[in-house]
Structure 1
Amino acid sequence: MKPSHLQRHLTTKHAVLKDKPEDFFTRKRDALYKRKSTIQSCCTPTAKAQEASYRASLRIAKAGKPHTIGEQLCLPLAKEMTKIMCGEKAAKQLHLVPLSNDTVSRRIGAMADDIKKTLIERIKIERYYSIQLDETTDVADLANFMVYVRYEHDGAAQEDFLFCQPLETRTTAEHIFQLLDAFVQENGLKWKKCVGVCTDGARAMTGRHSGVAARIQQVALEMRWTHCSIHREALAVKKMPDDLKSVLDSAVKTVNFIKARPMQSRLFQVLCDEMGSEHVQLLLHTEGLSINVFDVEDKINTMLKKLELFEIKVKAGDVSAFPALESFLSDNELTLDDGVRDNMVAHLVSLRQQFRQYFPVMTKANSWMRSPFSMETSELPKDLTVAEQESLIELSCDETLKPAFRKQSLLDFWIKQQRIPCPV
């Protein structure tokens, strides 16, 4: 401001101060700056304390601990450690961190709402998304419906947990679809963007006319259903000869008996220690969804060829592919019984048949997607226009894209390419 304006303001608005010396105004200025510093020093720790409260609440949630642990254990422990390492003054600063039971609960709820809002907004702005559905029962016999979502974000495929809600009454296809549709409508998502649904083979999910997949197909016309690969592997190894299945059933009953009570588990551990066993704990499951995911064609083919090799070896009386059996026969000076050998061969043959049933031979129609740089002209997809086929040929001959193809997943590579406009 101009000095004349300042002088006029002082004379008209603060006439009682116009005759004060310069030192008076200097002291007023210094006092004002000190007051600002005091206010800032009081507010800054509060902001930091709030951030610390959120971070502590996040760790409590990730660890699955009760909310009371923050006030009862975490905060007192942090104060003691800070007092020892940094002194009493630094430890007193931790008194500003709110970690009560209700506070931790609110913090976790706020973070969950923020994550949900961010995820929903991401899905809304993208062109497509796909979902994976699973209905399962927890240890309290409560049916839960879980949904995972895959979508494109920042040029890459992103997978996130979308929501989990209890099925309080029935678990029919109609109830499951209503729960899913209510979530979609409530959060402003669009069914027409849903291009894929993955489920297990349960009738409620895959019924041709009234299953969840069929109901989704009515509102998402471009949706394609796929069978969960983990569930397919579980089904593929489910069937076995009766003689082998009886052994597995006995093992399952034994595990269930030992795990039924904590005391039996402890006695079993003592027994294993006395016998010098390498392992002293039993798994909580013996069958189901704990098999490795073979989601690549070459892994399936490798498994099938190994099963064929095992079959040939067992027929010849060679059990070196089964170290536990080979060690048992060697230690007890036994030979492989013909009946056991026939059962093993029958099981290996059945495994190959079941795997091929649930994982059929992949056709050559889409080989250009899996290996675009080794594609022949005759393998070009027939449903593309000439301009699109020319663009695909140019891509297959582009040496600069090969390093990116080797470093990225197949899905991420094609997501990046679809962002590049095709030449006309």
Structure 2
Amino acid sequence: MNRKMPPKRKYDNSYIKFGFTSIESNGEIKPQCVICATVLANEALKPAKLKRHLETIHPNFYDRPPEFFQGKLENLKKMKLGPSGTRYASSEKTLVASFEISKLIAQSKKPHTIGETLVKPCLIKAVEEVLGLEAKKRIQDIPLSNNTVKARIELMSNDIEEQLVSRIKMSPFFALQCDESTDISNCAQLLVFVRFLDDDNIIKEELLFSQELEMTSRGIDVMNIIIGYFQKYGIMWEKLVGFCTDGAPAMLGSHSGLATLIKQRNPSTLTSHCILHRQALASKTLPKCLNDTMKLAIKVVNVIKSSALNSRLFKKLCTEMDSNHENLLFHTEVRWLSKGNMLERLYELRGEIELFLGEKKMEDLLVQLVF
């Protein structure tokens, strides 16, 4: 015996006092909340059920007059909702454009607000002039607000990380390189790089993750961060065959150093010392002649860079001589690799420096500075 289908309920305009309007979906009328845009089933078109939704989900609006919900209805009509009434309608091309622009903003390291304040207005003006008003309307639909760009970047970042982790899991083995350093703003940062064997049997190297060390930077602190990351993504310690780090005691300590803690997880892991950090350690014990030369170079740079007037005059001199560079580079102890960059720039501008010191009558430095 055929069961009788329940009758289709109809919407009454008085239901707006409960905060509900109507929407047609799949050939039947359904109630839609004007506050949260939630669409209920046709069977919910009863005053008691609509009132229950208002009391339980939106208790703060329970005693509002019908005029209040009518205003909410007008705002709901302005939203670009999909056919079901629960999602914002966005074409595939518009969505792709939003992701592509968000990617460019991330790569340029610009604030997320630039999408809404500069990029989108420029696009609208250019499209309006070149392609007309119809194309302008389509460009206006591209979501580029601050929160949208932030969400797009996070989605792309998470997707890249998931792809990398899956490739590491598929690799028969992998190695880590860990570096903990404090930048010029006294922020302790941990960088972890990974090397693994890709599908085409080529060794790939990628940045696995970067994380700030909020308190201490001991070996156990770094180890806990790595353990937490491995547990989060299910990475097996058994596949770790190599671990490279710098020469800090927190990294190489025989009892609580990071390398020792790594070996407790996988005794077969080979530990090594970063070549670049070996150069940094070697630079600490330079011979006297080289050390004096380094101090002289730093002194010359400080004489020019520490004074705003000297910096402007030196920049003007480099511009008049059509030099490849206009400024010298500072040297910092934290970023020790800047020593090489500073010396390289100093040598490239040696002619300009000689002229500048001569004009400033700094004979004591000019005599010592022999290129």
Give the TM interval when normalised to the shorter protein: 0.5 to 0.7
Q: How far apart are the structure 2 equivalents of 1:59 and 1:261?
A: 37
Bigger strand fraction: 2
| Residue aligning to 1:47 | 92
| Residue aligning to 2:162 | 117
SS of match in other structure, 1:139: coil
Which of 170, 173, 176 is equivalent to 2:216?
170
| Residue aligning to 1:80 | 125
Q: How far apart are residue 276 of structure 1 and its match?
A: 7.8
Q: How many percent of aligned residue pairs carry the same amino acid?
A: 40
Gaps of 5+ in 2: 1-82, 341-349, 355-367
Question: Quick one: structure 1 residues 278 and 160, their matched pair in 2 at CA, closer, same or farther if it must change by over 3 Å?
Answer: closer
Q: How far apart are the structure 2 equivalents of 1:76 and 1:259?
A: 40
Q: How far apart are residue 277 of structure 1 and its match?
A: 6.2
TM normalised by structure 2 equals: 0.62
Gaps of 5+ in 1: 1-38, 293-323, 329-339, 341-424
Q: How far apart are the structure 2 equivalents of 1:172 and 1:135?
A: 10
Q: Does 1:289 align with 2:337?
A: yes
Q: How far apart are residue 117 of structure 1 and its match?
A: 1.3
| Residue aligning to 1:201 | 247
Kept in 1, the 8 Å contact 2:242–2:271? The answer is yes
Kept in 2, the 8 Å contact 1:203–1:211? The answer is yes
Kept in 1, the 8 Å contact 2:331–2:339? The answer is no
Output aligned runs, 1:169-318, within 5 Å. Answer: 169-256=215-302, 258-259=304-305, 265-273=311-319, 279-285=325-331, 288-289=336-337
SS of match in other structure, 2:91: helix
Output aligned runs, 1:143-154, within 5 Å. Answer: 143-154=188-199
Q: Does 1:160 align with 2:202?
A: no
- Cα offsets for 1:149-202 (capped at 9, x unmatched): 111111211111111111111111111111221111222111111111111111
Q: How far apart are residue 222 of structure 1 and its match?
A: 1.9
SS of match in other structure, 1:168: coil
Q: Which has the higher contact order (CA 8 A, sep 6+)?
A: 1
TM normalised by structure 1 equals: 0.55
Q: How far apart are the structure 1 equivalents of 2:307 and 2:224?
A: 40
SS of match in other structure, 1:132: strand
Question: Quick one: structure 1 residues 92 and 259, their matched pair in 2 at CA, closer, same or farther if it must change by over 3 Å?
Answer: farther
Q: How far apart are the structure 1 equivalents of 2:308 and 2:203?
A: 44
| Residue aligning to 2:70 | none
Q: How far apart are residue 271 of structure 1 and its match?
A: 4.9
| Residue aligning to 1:363 | none
SS of match in other structure, 1:116: helix
Q: How far apart are residue 136 of structure 1 and its match?
A: 1.5
Q: How far apart are the structure 1 equivalents of 2:222 and 2:307?
A: 35
Bigger helix fraction: 1
Instruction: Count residues with an aligned counterpart.
Output: 257
Question: Quick one: structure 1 residues 248 and 290, their matched pair in 2 at CA, closer, same or farther if it must change by over 3 Å?
Answer: closer
Q: How far apart are the structure 1 equivalents of 2:296 and 2:189?
A: 30
The CA RMSD over aligned residues, in Å, is: 3.1
SS of match in other structure, 1:61: helix
Q: How far apart are residue 124 of structure 1 and its match?
A: 1.5
- Cα offsets for 1:256-304 (capped at 9, x unmatched): 5654576653343235457886643112437833699xxxxxxxxxxxx
- Cα offsets for 1:58-99 (capped at 9, x unmatched): 110011000000011111111222222222222221011000
SS of match in other structure, 1:181: helix
SS of match in other structure, 1:225: strand
| Residue aligning to 1:94 | 139
Q: How far apart are the structure 2 equivalents of 1:80 and 1:227?
A: 55
Kept in 1, the 8 Å contact 2:319–2:326? The answer is yes
Kept in 1, the 8 Å contact 2:332–2:339? The answer is no
Q: How far apart are the structure 1 equivalents of 2:225 and 2:186?
A: 19
